[in-house]
Amino acid sequence: MNEGFDEGSGLSRRGFLAWLSVGLGAIVAAVLGGSGGAYFLAPAFQKREEDWVDLGPAKDIPVGKPVKLDFVVRKRDAWVTTEQRSSAYVTTSNGRDFIVFDPRCTHLGCPYRWDEVKGQFICPCHTAVFDVDGRVVQGPPPRSLDRYEAKVTGGRLQVLPKPVKERA
C-alpha cells in the first residue's frame, strides 16, 4: 500500500503532519514569546514620570506661618496600587515661593511640630530646635531640615515627596 500523500511531491502524510506540527508550534512560540518578551522588556523603554502630589491651592497657604498639610502618595506597581499617608510643613514668605519640609527630624527621624509661640520647629525627643527656614538652632541634628521639591502648577501647590537633604 502506498503511504505517500501526494505521489508527485514526494511528501508523505507523516512528513506533512510533522511539518504542520513544527509550523504551528513555531507560530505559538512566536506569539507567546513575543508577548512574554514584551511584558518583561516594556518597563525598560517606558518613560518614568515623576510622581508629583497635589497639596491644594497655593493661595490657601498663609504667608509667614508654616502649616502642616497631609497628603496621600499613590504608587502603582503593575496591577497593584498602594497608598501611603504622609505630611509636610509648608511655608512661604511671599505667596509665590514655597518651602516644603520633610516632617521628620534630621537627627533620628522623629516627628517634629511647629511651636506658634516660639516661632520654631521643635522636636521633643532630643530637644532639637529649628528656625522657620529649617536651620538648626539647638540640639543634636547634624543638618537643617530636609526639603521636598515644590512647584506651583495652575495655581495648585505640588510636591515631589522625596527628601532633598540639606547640608549642615
Does domain 53-164 fall into CATH 1.10.510.10?
A: no
pLDDT tens digits along 100-138: 999 998 888 889 999 999 989 999 888 899 998 889 999
Residues above pLDDT 70, as percent of the chain = 87
Q: What is the 3-state composition of the chain as percent helix, strand, coil, each rounded to the nearest 5?
A: 20, 40, 40
**Where do the structural domains in the chain lie, given as residue ranges?**
1-48, 53-164
Q: Can you give the pLDDT at residue 50?
A: 65
The answer to whether the pTM exceeds 0.85 is no
Contact in structure between 104 and 126 (CB atoms under 8 Å) = no
pLDDT tens digits along 72-90: 888 877 677 788 898 999 9
Q: Which residues contact 130 (CB under 8 A, 6 or more apart)?
A: 112, 120, 121, 122, 123, 136, 137, 141, 144, 145
